[in-house]
Structure 1
């Protein structure tokens, strides 16, 4: 598993004093503020930044100012950067619960062993989370355990579902 977990993305500068708008993937969004040091990056280039001020700016958006970023121009250079935290800093979850980041990239197989695709992302719908599975086509599969999602095997990189291949 990767040593960092993507938790947000920097959207845009906010104001003229170095603040940025951050789209948080955490649940709740302000949970990201529990981490004082964030890793910012694109592709394989990452660096650490300390959060010096932050506030909720309308869920799931946070307004954040980093140490050493004091002007709008500096903040604008961070647009599009991913925000990550060290995996070791995340709380351990009870058995049967998973971070979304751990599900992304898993192969999805149905009860017949047919590969439906790979988990591309997840989305919230209100009633339940939904797996966006990309294979020969996109499938939206509700993350409902144990009715739909039968098993998650992180070591094998597989997620087993009770899902008809024609859906």
Structure 2
């Protein structure tokens, strides 16, 4: 299958700047663990709707991030051109998850309703607290009970059902929170 549109890709990180003088780049990885981003080997770099395929030939942890070398780029000034580019891979290259597990991008855009079927809005994005659980950032919309933003921990205690097919998440959440 040939992937042609930016929507066919998932963002795994970003090139933040250059590292050294031999064409290495600093990488901010969104993967867990951070170095998993290196396992993909080929990255599609995206800036706007422009896609550029590159091959990672070396990489390693560095401080709180990663550094990587792109095959054929051995000059700091050439590498600098990629600063700010998102690092993407085709969605079909992501590992399969177990039942009941979801990638963040799959949850974003789903409607969120309470056990009483009250609409709280849609998942705008996900965030990590660093405390072992993720958080749904839910923004009210035209169909919700109000326009408030809510932060709902993505844990079994509060998230009762996720249905990608129905496009919704059912939560045990007091709308007043």
TM over 0.5: yes
Within a 5 Å distance, the mapping from 1:30-109 to structure 2 comes to 30-59=35-64, 61-109=65-113
**1: CA distance between counterparts of 2:71 and 2:173?**
48
Displaced runs of 4 or more, over 6 A = none
For 1:123 and 1:58, the matched residues in 2 are separated by 22
Normalised by the size of structure 2, how large is the TM-score? Answer: 0.84
Pair 1:154-2:159 in alignment? no
Q: Residue 55 and residue 129 in structure 1: after superposition, are their counterparts in 2 closer, same or farther (change >3 A)? A: same
Match of 1:139 in 2: 150
Aligned mates of 2:138, 2:121 — CA distance in 1 = 6
Q: Following the alignment from structure 1 to structure 2, what is the Cα–Cα distance between the partners of residues 44 and 115?
A: 34
Aligned-pair CA distance for 1:72: 1.8
Aligned partner (choices 141, 152, 176) of residue 166 of structure 1: 176
For the aligned residues, what is the CA RMSD?
1.6
> In the TM superposition, what whole-angstrom CA distance separates every residue of 1:32-67 from its partner, at most 9, and x where no partner exists?
1111101110232212110011111134x1101112
Number of equivalent positions: 164
Instruction: Tell me, yes or no, if the aligned pair for 1:6 and 1:101 is still in contact at 8 Å.
Output: no
Gaps of 5+ in 1: none
2:29 maps to 1:19: no
- CA shift for structure 1 position 101: 2.0
Q: Distance in 2 between matches of 1:67 and 1:114?
A: 52
Structure 2 gaps, min length 5: 1-6, 141-146
